[in-house]
Structure formats: C-alpha cells, structure tokens
C-alpha cells in the first residue's frame, strides 16, 4: 500500500514571532523553520505502518519555497521513501494546497493520505477535509489511533468529551491529532542516507492549480497582553464583580 504524507515547513514551535510593523503579517526573516509538529506525527504514523508491513511506500510532499526541500529531507530521514516538492513562493491557502494534493493523488494513486490536522502557523485545519471533499474520499480527522486492515482503516478520533471510532473504506484521508504518537528523531545515519533519496520538483501549474490567494489579510496584531488579576475581600464582592463586570452571572 502506498501512503502520501503532505508536510509543511513552518516556524520552529519553540520560537515566538513578532508582528511586522505594517501589520501585514508576521516577520519570519532569520528565524529557524522546521516541520509542522502535526505533520511529523503524520510521517511517524506512516513509518510505523511501514514497519508493521502494512505500507510499502511512503511519499512525502511539500508545497512551498525551495527551502521546503529541507522539510521533505526530514521526512525522508524519518523513513519516507521519496519526496515531491511543489515549488510555490508566497502564501498558499488551504484550498490551493488541497487542489494540488488532489492532482498528486491522481498521479500517484495512494490508498491513504495522512496529514497533520492543522499547521501551527495559520491554524486553518482545513486541508485534509477539503482534500477529502475534492476527491470524494472518506475522512477520519483528529486521529488518536489508526488501524489499517485490508481495505479498511479504523480511526479513533478525538472529539469533544471523548473518543469516537469510525471505519472508513480505503482509499481514505486521515488527519492526525497530537496524541496519535510521539514522532521519532531521525537517527544520524538516516539523515545522511536521506540525502540520496529522490525528490521530484514540480510546479503548481503542473497540476493546473492557480495559487493566487482568495482571502485578503486586513491586519495582523499581537494578542492582547494579559491583565493582572484583582483580589476580592468578600464573597459578596466576588458575586458583584461576576454579575456586573464579567457579566457571567
């Protein structure tokens, strides 16, 4: 079985970004970039399926600038077999990503696409669902546990208040939640071996997709600073504040 794993290059999760002074976005210059943590979980799950003998080939895809190749190399070092880089400069919105992925799915015919549930940069949480809709495939989002057996994948999902289990016919789309697994660190020899694994370079036009943004960013601002709390002297004062200031009673 072939698995497709899209991976996104984002700001390293350890770092904090600053908003550009013109409020047009965030300033990423000179900051360390890394693979989106949810995508790492997706790669890990695919590699585990391969180690179990369920999966035979893992193709890692990234849509982004030239440097997204490093993100693909990380996936290859973790255990993916080959990569596809769709070179696009500038922001690519989830719908364009989903359309490009649809083109790749049609060319590659994987049985399973495992994606991160969202990327930590724009937190859109849309690509997997859009791809499922475009392909007409079943989707199991926010996966907590995945079991693949012959022509079915059983996905235990994290939903509000508990877990929900769905059985999907293959081919299918799965998006990963945080607790699905703990991604491995690539071993040092595998980092070196990954340099020899092939990466195809494509353009969005190869899949007939126009990546021009459909959304307009009006402005980006810092989240409001946290205000210090106040101490109340009596229960009566607390109830009064909850009623008249917070408006929650």
Partner 1 sequence: MADDAGRRTQTITFDSLRPPSPFFTDSHHAWRASLRKFVDREIAPHVDAWDEAGAVPREVFKIAADFGLIGVGYPEQYGGWTEGVDRFHGVITSEEMARPGAGGVSAALMVHGIGLPPILAIGTEEMKAAIAPAVLSGEKQISLAITEPSGGSDVANLQTRATRRGDHYVVDGAKMFITGGMTSHYCTVAVRTGGPGAGGVSLLLIELDRPGVTRTPLKKQGWWASDTAALYFDGVEVPVANLIGVENQGFAGVMLNFNGERLGMASGALASARACIEDAAAWAQERRTFGKRLADHQVIRHKIAMMVQRVRASTAWLDLCAWRVQNGETPVVDLSLLKVQATETLEFCAREASQILGGAAYMRGQRIERIYREVRVNAIGGGSEEIMRDLAARQLGV
Of residues 222, 241, 223, the one with CA closest to residue 231: 241
- Using rule CB under 8 A, residue 13 touches partner 1: yes
Q: How far is the CB of 67 from partner 1 (least distance, A)?
A: 9
Which range binds partner 1 by CB under 8 A, 7-15, 132-140, 197-205, 241-249? Answer: 7-15
Figure out which of the listed residues 188, 218, 235, 248 binds partner 1, where binding follows CB under 8 A.
Answer: 188
CA distance 86 to 83: 10
Figure out which of the listed residues 90, 160, 195, 216 binds partner 1, where binding follows CB under 8 A.
Answer: 195
Q: How far is the CB of 13 from partner 1 (least distance, A)?
A: 8
Q: How far is the CB of 111 from partner 1 (least distance, A)?
A: 30
- Using rule CB under 8 A, residue 16 touches partner 1: yes
- Using rule CB under 8 A, residue 73 touches partner 1: yes
Could you tell me the CA-to-CA distances from 38 to 60, 67, 126, 174 in Å, in that order? 14, 19, 13, 12
Dihedral Cα 102, 120, 159, 53, nearest 10 deg = 60
Q: Which residues, numbered 19-58, are part of the site for partner 1 (CB under 8 A)?
A: 32, 34
Phi-psi sector, 218: left (phi>0), alpha (psi -120 to 50), beta: alpha
* CB closer to partner 1 out of 56 and 67: 67
Q: How far is the CB of 94 from partner 1 (least distance, A)?
A: 23
- Using rule CB under 8 A, residue 14 touches partner 1: yes
Please tell me whether residue 69 adopts helix, strand or coil conformation: helix
* Contact by Cβ (8 Å): 48, 181: yes
CA distance 137 to 157: 17
* CB closer to partner 1 out of 15 and 232: 15
* CB closer to partner 1 out of 19 and 191: 191
- Using rule CB under 8 A, residue 77 touches partner 1: yes
Figure out which of the listed residues 2, 124, 190, 241 binds partner 1, where binding follows CB under 8 A.
Answer: 190
CA distance 248 to 166: 37
Q: Total residues contacting partner 1 (rule CB under 8 A)? A: 22
* CB closer to partner 1 out of 12 and 151: 12
Cβ-based neighbours of 39, under 8 Å, separated by 6 or more: 5, 6, 7, 8, 71, 75, 115, 116, 119
* Contact by Cβ (8 Å): 194, 186: yes
Please tell me whether residue 207 adopts helix, strand or coil conformation: helix
Residue with tokens 């693909």: 72
- Using rule CB under 8 A, residue 201 touches partner 1: no
Figure out which of the listed residues 216, 226, 231, 233 binds partner 1, where binding follows CB under 8 A.
Answer: 226
Residues of this chain that interact with partner 1 (CB under 8 A) are: 13-16, 32, 34, 70, 73-74, 77, 185-195, 226
């Amino acid at each position: 079985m072939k698995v497709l794993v899209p991976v996104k290059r984002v700001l390293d999760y350890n770092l904090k970004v600053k908003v550009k002074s013109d409020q047009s976005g965030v300033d990423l210059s000179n900051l360390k970039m890394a693979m989106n943590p949810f995508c790492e979980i997706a790669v890990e799950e695919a590699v585990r399926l391969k180690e179990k003998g369920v999966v035979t080939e893992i193709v890692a895809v990234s849509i982004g600038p030239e440097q997204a190749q490093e993100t693909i190399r990380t996936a290859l070092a973790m255990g993916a077999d080959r990569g596809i880089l769709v070179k696009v400069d500038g922001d690519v919105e989830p719908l364009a990503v989903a359309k490009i992925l649809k083109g790749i799915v049609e060319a590659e015919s994987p049985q399973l696409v495992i994606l991160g549930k969202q990327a930590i940069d724009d937190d859109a949480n849309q690509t997997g669902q859009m791809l499922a809709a475009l392909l007409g495939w079943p989707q199991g989002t926010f996966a907590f546990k995945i079991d693949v057996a012959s022509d079915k994948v059983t996905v235990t999902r994290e939903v509000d208040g508990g877990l929900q289990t769905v059985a999907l016919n293959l081919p299918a789309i799965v998006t990963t939640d945080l607790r699905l697994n703990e991604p491995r660190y690539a071993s040092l020899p595998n980092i070196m071996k990954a340099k020899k694994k092939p990466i195809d370079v494509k353009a969005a036009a190869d899949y007939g997709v126009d990546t021009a943004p459909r959304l307009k960013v009006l402005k980006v601002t810092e989240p409001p600073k946290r205000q210090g709390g106040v101490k109340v002297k009596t229960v009566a004062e607390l109830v009064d504040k909850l009623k008249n200031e917070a408006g929650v009673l």
